[in-house]
Amino acid sequence: MIQALDTNILLISPPFTQLNTPYPASPYLKGFLGSKNIKSFQVDLGLEVILKIFSKGGLREIFDLVDNIDDDLSENGCRIISLKEKYIHAIDHVISFLQGNNDMLAHSICSETFLPKASRFDQTDDLDWSFGNMGIRDRARHLATLFLEDISDFIVENIDPHFGFSRYAERLSSSAFYFDSIYHELNEDNSLIVQFQLDILKRYLENEQPSLLALTVPFPGNLFAALKCGEFAKKNYPNIKVCLGGGYANTELRSISDPRIFEYVDFITLDDGEIPLYNIIEYIEGKRSADTLKRTFITKNGEVIFIDNSEDKDISFRQSICPDYSNLKIDQYISVIEVTNPMHRLWSDGFWNKLTMAHGCYWGRCTFCDTTLDYISRFEPATASTICDKMEKIMAVTGQSGFHFVDEAAPPALMIALAKEIIRRKLDVIWWTNVRFETSFTKDVCILLKRSGCIAVSGGLEVASNRILSLINKGVSIEKVALACKNFTQAGILTHAYLMYGFPTQTTQETIDSLEVVRQLFEQQIVHSGFWHQFALTVHSPVGKNPNRFQVQIKNPETNPFANNDLEHVDPTGAPHQKFSSGLKKSLFNFMHDVGFDLPLQDWFEFKVPNTSVPYNLISKALDGTSQGEPMPNSKLIWMENTPDARYYSRKKKGKSQEMCELTFYLSSETTRMNIKASLAPWLISLLERCSIGNKTNPTFKEVQEDFSRNNLGDFSVFWQSFTLKQLKLFGLLNI
C-alpha cells in the first residue's frame, strides 16, 4: 500500500477565458473539496498572464524582443513600436482604470493626447452617437479596450500568433481530429507569452507544493495552455500528478485513443468533475486502486484506457455545496467594452459571480444539441432557497452582487421561485441568465423577474423559420418567441438572441426569410443583440446520431484518434451555407446599432439573393392585441407593494349617502389613492395581505374567486374586469 500523502490540490484555469470574471469550474471544485476537508488553492492563470503582459514590465519585454527581430514590421507595427514609450507609460494607469480604480482618469483617456492610437482607433467615428455627452466613463473604457486591442494585434503579428484575449491557440484545438499539429506546436520553443505563463505557474507550484495539479479546459482555446502547464509540472516536479477535465474533454475527448497527450497529463476526466477528482485524490493517497476510478482516462503499457468502476455516486445538484471564490484576485479583474451594444457588452463588462440554477436542460430535445451527454441530459434543479443561500455566501466572499446564471436554459418555474425568494430576503442583486423564449414568460412573470434584479436574458431563436424550428424541435414558434421577447423588453429586461444558419435542408429562401424576421425583431426593439453562428454537426446530437433522417451525409464517419465532436458533413438539399456568413453578420452588426432597417436585404450580400417571402408586418402583427387573458385556476396572485392605508368616509350623491373607503398606496416611486365601496375594502385589504410577496405561499386565482363569492361581494368576473382591479395591476398585483 502506498503511503498516504498530505494532499494539496492546485486548481488552475489556464489562459484564456474572460478578463472580467473567473470561469466557474475551479470555484465549484474548490467548494466541493472544502466540503471534504481537502486542502486546495485556485488560480486564474489567464488573468495573471494578462496582467503580466499588460504591465510596464511586460510591455518592455515585448518591445525589447521585437527590437531584436530583423523581420520587417507592418505599417501599424512600425507606428506602435515608435510610440512604445507612450504605451509603456500609459499601460498601468489604463489597467488600474479598467479594474475600477481612479475613475477620474476617464477624462484623460477621452482626451486626444493620453492614449497612443493605432489601427483599432479607426472605428471610433461614431462614439458620440454611441455614448452621448454623459457616458464619459463608458466611453473611456471603450477607448481603453481599443488601446489594449492595438497591443494585442502587435503581439499576434510579432510575438505570438496564437495569442487572443479570451483564447490561446484555439485554431490548433478546434476540430482537431488528430493530435499531430498540437503535438508539433507543443514541442516548439516557448513564446514569450507562454514563458510568462510558466513563470507564474512555477511560483504557485513552489508556494503551494501540490500533490495534484487539476486543469480545467472549458474551450478549445484553453487546451494548448493547459498542456503547457502539464508539461512544465511533469518535467520539473515529477512527484506532482496532473489531471485534465472540463467542457472540452467532455465533448471532444470521449473516445480518445492517442496516448501522446498523456506525456502532459496523467488523468483525463469526463462530465461532472467532483467525484472523478475525489477518486483520483484517493488513488494518489493510496486509498483506492486505479481500476476503481470514475469516468477517467489513463494510459497503461502505452494504451489509453477508460475506467468507470467507482461505486461513488455523483453529488446531487440539490446539495448546498457552494462555489468557493477564495484565493482568486477578485479586485484585479478587468472590465472592458468591446462592443457598445448594452446587452452584448455584459459578457466582458463587470464582475459576475457564476452560478447555475439547474444541472442539465429542462427541455433537452433540440436536435442540434448534445442531448446525449450528461451536461444536457441529466436535468436536476436546485431549490430557490439553496440558490439564495449560495448567493449570500458568495457575495460575502467576493463583495460583488452581480450574478450570471450559466444554465443551458434556466427553468421558468425555478426562475419565478428564485425571484420571489430574492425579494423576500431583500437581496440587493442583479442577475441574468440563458432561457428558452417560451410562453411561460408572460408580462407579469417578466415584471416579477425584473423586480428581483434580472437585467437581461439570452436565448436561442436559432433559425427564424417555423419549418426549421420544427425540425430543430425547439418547441417554440417565431410568434411565441416574439411575444416572450416583448414581455421581457417591456419589463426593462435586455434580450440577446442566438441565431443559427445552415441547419440541414435549410434553403436560400429560408436563410433570407430568417434574416428578415431578425430585422423585424430588432426594428420592433424587442431584441437588443444577437450572434449568428453556422450550424455545426456534433456526434452527440440527434442529427449526428441519425443523419439520414435530416438528409445529411457524413464525410468521415470513422472514429478519430484524438478529438471526436464535430462531424464533417454534406447537406445536398440545402443552400451553400458558408456564403451567407459575411452578409448575416454585417447586417446584424448594423441592426444592433439601430441602423440599416430600411436597406433591402440584397444590400448585405455580394451575390444575388431572393426577395423575402415574409410579410413586412409578421412580427408587429404577432405583437398586436396580445394580452395575458383569463388566469389559469392554479396561477398565483402576488402583491409586490405594501398594504395600503384605509380611510373610511361617507359620500352623498343625489341625496343618498354611500359608505366609501380611500386606500392610500405608498408605492416605491409615488403615492397614489383609490376610492372603493366600504363593503369591498376589508376583503381587498385582506387579499393584498395574503398575496404579499413576503408570504411563503400565495392564494391561487381559483381560491380568490371562491373567497370573493363566499363573502357575497357580487360577480367575480365583473370585479376582475373592473377599473379597480386594473389599477391594482398597475400598482403591483401580478398573476404568476
Tell me: the pLDDT tens digits for 649-686? Answer: 998 877 788 899 999 999 988 999 999 999 999 999 99
Strand segments, DSSP code E, in 14-130 are 39-44
Cα dihedral: 424, 429, 431, 437 (round 10): 30
Same domain? For 425 and 537 the reply is yes
For residue 16, whether the previous peptide bond is cis, meaning omega lies within 30 degrees of 0, is yes
Q: What does the pLDDT look like over 149-195, one tens digit per residue?
A: 999 999 999 999 999 888 777 777 776 889 999 999 999 999 999 99
Same domain? For 595 and 721 the reply is no
pLDDT at 405 exceeding the cut of 90 = yes
Tell me what pLDDT residue 172 has: 78
Say if 16 falls within a structural domain.
yes
Same domain? For 613 and 698 the reply is no
Say if 320 falls within a structural domain.
no
Full domain range(s) for residue 390: 352-623
Q: What is the CATH number of the domain that holds 431?
A: 3.80.30.20
Say if 299 falls within a structural domain.
yes
Same domain? For 77 and 203 the reply is no
Report residue 440 as a C-alpha cell. Answer: 411561460
Report residue 473 as a C-alpha cell. Answer: 424541435
Identify the domain boundary among 307, 322, 340: 307
Same domain? For 645 and 615 the reply is no
pLDDT at 2 exceeding the cut of 50 = no
- What are the angstrom distances between the C-alpha of 221 and each of 166, 580, 727? 8, 26, 54
Say if 337 falls within a structural domain.
no
Q: What is the CATH number of the domain that holds 266?
A: 3.40.50.2300
Say if 296 falls within a structural domain.
yes
Say if 701 falls within a structural domain.
yes
Say if 199 falls within a structural domain.
yes
Identify the domain boundary among 142, 163, 184: 163
Decide: 434 and 457 in contact? Cβ < 8 Å.
yes
pLDDT band with cut points at 50, 70 and 90 for residue 558: confident
Same domain? For 194 and 112 the reply is no
Could you count the other beta carbons within 10 Å of the beta carbon of residue 664? 12
Same domain? For 15 and 64 the reply is no
Decide: 618 and 481 in contact? Cβ < 8 Å.
no
Decide: 366 and 517 in contact? Cβ < 8 Å.
no
Q: What does the pLDDT look like over 267-296, one tens digit per residue?
A: 999 999 999 999 999 999 999 999 999 999
Same domain? For 533 and 447 the reply is yes
Burial class (CB in 10 A: 0-12, 13-18, 19+), 426: exposed
Cα–Cα distance measured from residue 543 to residue 628, given in angstroms and rounded to the nearest whole number: 36
Cα 356 to the chain's mean position, in Å?
10
Arithmetic mean of pLDDT, 318-329 = 92
Identify the domain boundary among 104, 129, 163: 163
Number of residues that this document lists for the chain: 736
Same domain? For 400 and 533 the reply is yes
The answer to whether the predicted template modeling score (pTM) of the entire model surpasses 0.85 is yes
Decide: 434 and 458 in contact? Cβ < 8 Å.
yes
Same domain? For 127 and 188 the reply is no
Q: What's the number of domains the chain is made of?
A: 4
Same domain? For 12 and 75 the reply is no
Same domain? For 391 and 423 the reply is yes
All residues at 6 or more sequence positions from 9 whose CB lies less than 8 Å from its CB, including other chains: 33, 38, 39, 40, 41, 210, 211, 212, 214, 277, 281
Say if 683 falls within a structural domain.
yes
- What are the angstrom distances between the C-alpha of 302 and each of 292, 299, 305, 560? 19, 6, 9, 18
pLDDT band with cut points at 50, 70 and 90 for residue 519: very high
